[in-house]
């Protein structure tokens, strides 16, 4: 069992979400940076899809009421005073110890996996908090008690070096509704950097920058939306859909992120600059 002493600005339990219910109006949800949750799980010998804790801008304090192996991945932050606590490698948290996590020095979302996984009751097959629909467990608050599941199999020693910090670039494929925009709009999207707005959350990354001009007026009938869709409301300012995006929407999607770059989008902070680049074809 883990007791939340302080959750930081926003922390939730996340696994890989609840796919398969979009036609009933249920968002996919799950870790915004799924690649980092999977890595943290691998580091403690878990199957990649077990639930962990997704911290937004770190700054959390957790008391382990029972001892457990733990690992951190995603936005790198200082961890202590537990011996060996650091990013990218498993460490043992003794029973009764408090794990203190600081603010990340880059990126936004940090994932804490514990061996056995966070074992809150699943809803529609997932333990994820869906910030749009409210499905799944409540966001963490001081006093929240999180059960830890039973560990299975042997611990596989692993170490994951932190990725190099490069400029934030999102590779996109055009469409499905790029024809709703003037022909230059895709070039415009990729011409100058956009700035991440304060209003960003698990639903989407809202951006400010060059305005994308529509060629067609009127309303697009509501249609299914994929994670990573770059949706453009009438303001002309794009929104990149993350895990908790609505399953359908009525604003045209000019482009969609390459799947591998969802993790990049999920780590953008308000105020960050980000560039788009087009890769046509596969």
Partner 1 sequence: MIRLAGEHGLLVETGSLELSHRLDAALRRERPDRVVEIVPGPGTVLVVAPGGDRERLRERLADVLARERATTLAAGPAAAAPVVTVPVVYDGADLEPVAELAGVGVDEVIARHAGRELVVGWLGFAPGFAYLTGLDPVLHVPRLGTPRTSVPAGSVAVAGPYSAVYPSASPGGWRLLGHTTLRVWDVAADPPSPFRPGTRVRFEPA
Query: Which residue ranges make up the site for partner 1 (CB under 8 A)?
Result: 19-26, 28, 123-124, 133-135, 173-177, 221-226, 228-229, 246-248, 253, 256-259, 282
User: Nearest 5°: CA angle at 150, between 131 and 64?
Assistant: 70
For residues 34 and 114, which CB has a smaller minimum distance to partner 1 in the complex? 34
Q: Which among 58, 71, 50, 43 has a CA at the least distance from the CA of 147?
A: 50
Alpha-helical runs (H) found in the chain: 34-43, 185-191, 262-266
Task: Report the residue number, 104 or 228, with the smaller CB distance to partner 1.
Answer: 228
Taking the complex as a whole, the smallest distance from the CB of residue 68 to partner 1 amounts, in Å, to: 29
Nearer to partner 1, 195 or 226 (CB): 226
- In angstroms, give the least distance from the CB of 253 to partner 1: 7
Tell me how far apart the alpha carbons of residues 278 and 68 are, in angstroms, rounded to a whole number.
44
Cα separation, 187 vs 277, in Å, equals 9
By three-state DSSP, how is residue 204 classified?
Answer: strand
Please tell me the distance from the alpha carbon of residue 83 to that of residue 104, in angstroms, as a whole number.
19
Residue 152 or 224 having the CB closest to partner 1: 224
Nearer to partner 1 by C-beta: 62 or 170?
A: 170
At its nearest, how many Å lie between partner 1 and the CB of residue 233? 16
Give the CA distances from residue 179 to residues 17, 37, 45, in Å, rounded to whole numbers and listed in that order.
Answer: 32, 36, 46
When the beta carbons of 90 and 247 are compared against partner 1, the nearer one is: 247
Structure tokens at 107: 């990126």
C-beta of 258: minimal distance to partner 1 in Å?
A: 6
Q: How far is the CB of 60 from partner 1 (least distance, A)?
A: 28
CB of residue 96 to partner 1, shortest distance in Å: 35
Q: 271 burial class (0-12, 13-18, 19+ CB within 10 angstroms)? A: exposed
- Under DSSP, the state recorded for 121 is P
User: Using an 8 Å Cβ cutoff, are 16 and 30 in contact?
Assistant: yes
Q: Return the number of the residue (117 or 228) whose C-beta is nearest partner 1.
A: 228
Q: Which of these, 88, 89, 82, 90, lies nearest to 116 by C-alpha position?
A: 90
Minimum CB separation of residue 6 from partner 1 in Å reads 30
């Amino acid at each position: 069992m883990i007791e939340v002493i302080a959750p930081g600005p926003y922390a939730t339990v996340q696994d890989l979400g609840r796919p398969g219910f979009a036609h009933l109006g249920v968002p996919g949800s799950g870790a915004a940076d799924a690649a980092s949750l999977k890595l943290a799980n691998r580091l403690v010998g878990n199957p990649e899809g077990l639930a962990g804790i997704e911290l937004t801008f770190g700054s959390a304090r957790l008391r382990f009421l029972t001892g457990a192996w733990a690992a951190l991945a995603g936005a790198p932050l200082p961890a202590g005073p537990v011996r060996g606590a650091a990013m990218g490698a498993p460490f043992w948290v003794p029973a009764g110890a408090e794990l203190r996590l600081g603010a990340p020095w880059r990126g936004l979302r940090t994932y804490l996996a514990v061996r056995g996984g966070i074992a809150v009751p699943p809803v529609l097959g997932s333990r994820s908090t869906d910030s749009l629909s409210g499905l799944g467990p409540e966001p963490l608050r001081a006093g929240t008690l999180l059960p830890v599941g039973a560990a299975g199999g042997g611990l596989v020693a692993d170490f994951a070096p932190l990725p190099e910090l490069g400029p934030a670039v999102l590779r996109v494929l055009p469409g499905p509704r790029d024809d709703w925009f003037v022909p230059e709009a895709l070039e415009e999207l990729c011409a100058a950097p956009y700035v991440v707005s304060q209003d960003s959350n698990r639903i989407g990354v809202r951006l400010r920058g060059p305005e994308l001009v529509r060629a067609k007026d009127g309303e697009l009938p509501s249609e299914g939306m994929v994670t990573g869709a770059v949706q453009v409301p009438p303001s002309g300012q794009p929104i990149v859909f993350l895990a908790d995006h609505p399953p359908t929407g009525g604003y045209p999607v000019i482009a969609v992120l390459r799947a591998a770059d969802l993790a990049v989008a999920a780590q953008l902070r308000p105020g960050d600059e980000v560039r788009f680049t087009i890769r046509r074809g596969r």
